[in-house]
């Protein structure tokens, strides 16, 4: 039920500075920004090329006790998560639980742009924090 790569998340200490770096040096385009209080992040979505493929999500801490702040304290900036698009986040989470993986939340939380999200614990996914994203807009399975 993983349909495609939705985004790759990168932890950064300063969101505005990171957006500038990606725009000016790598030519990516910032297409969305928001603060997610529940997750304790300020985030930006960047489009690559024609914008039809996966996005880069820059994640900066909004609070010192947040997941991103802990990640930065532990190892500094870098790749923090790999997110897959799913059509139904509850069904996808149930399927992974049935295969013995720990999901971080019992029920989905709110993600970027009104999406619904959950995560597989990195210790159950080969050291990668895997995110499941059900977009606000219904997912087209083909194309
Ligand atoms: C921790 N570990 C990781 C990791 N974070 N490994 C790979 N990737 C990561 N991002 C390792 C860590 O090095 C430890 O390994 C082990 O997991 C357990 O460490 P811990 O101290 O228990 O971990 P914590 O307290 O840092 O928590 C890690 C988790 C936390 C994954 C549970 O970050 C979390 O709840 N993440 C989900 C929420 C999140 O990431 N929100 C920010 C993005 P050793 O040392 O034991 O070997 S919000 C977002 O993506 C949005 C809004 C969106 O996409 O729409």
Encode pLDDT of 10-55 as tens digits: 999 999 999 999 999 999 999 999 999 999 999 999 999 999 999 9
For residue 59, which atom of ligand 1 is closest to its CA? 43
d(CA 128, CA 80): 8
Q: Residue 64 phi/psi, 5° resolution? A: -70, -20
Whole-number Å distance, alpha carbon 74 to ligand 1 midpoint, is: 10
| Cα–Cα separations (whole angstroms), residue 3 to 16, 26, 135, 143 | 31, 27, 12, 10
Q: Is the ipTM above a cut-off of 0.90?
A: yes
Range 4-134 classified under CATH 3.10.180.10: yes
Confirm or reject: Cβ of 109 under 6 Å from ligand 1. no
C-alpha of residue 50 to centroid of ligand 1, in Å: 31
Sequence-separated (6 or more) residues with CB below 8 Å from residue 89: 108, 116, 117, 118, 132, 133, 134
Q: pLDDT digits over 43-59, tens only?
A: 999 999 999 999 999 99
Distance between Cα 120 and ligand 1 center (Å): 10
Any idea where the domains of the chain sit in the sequence? 4-134
């Amino acid at each position: 039920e993983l349909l495609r790569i939705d985004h790759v998340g990168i932890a950064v200490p300063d969101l505005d500075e990171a957006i500038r770096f990606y725009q000016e040096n790598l030519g990516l385009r910032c297409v969305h920004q928001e603060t997610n209080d529940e997750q304790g992040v300020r985030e930006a979505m960047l489009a690559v090329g024609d914008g039809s493929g996966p996005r880069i999500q820059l994640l900066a801490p909004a609070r010192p006790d947040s997941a991103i702040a802990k990640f930065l304290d532990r190892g500094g900036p870098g790749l923090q998560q790999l997110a897959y698009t799913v059509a139904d986040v509850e069904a996808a989470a149930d399927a992974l639980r049935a295969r013995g993986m720990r999901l971080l939340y019992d029920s989905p939380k709110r993600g970027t742009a009104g999406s619904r999200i959950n995560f597989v614990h990195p210790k159950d996914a080969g050291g990668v924090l895997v995110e499941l994203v059900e977009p606000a807009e219904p997912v087209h399975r083909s194309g």
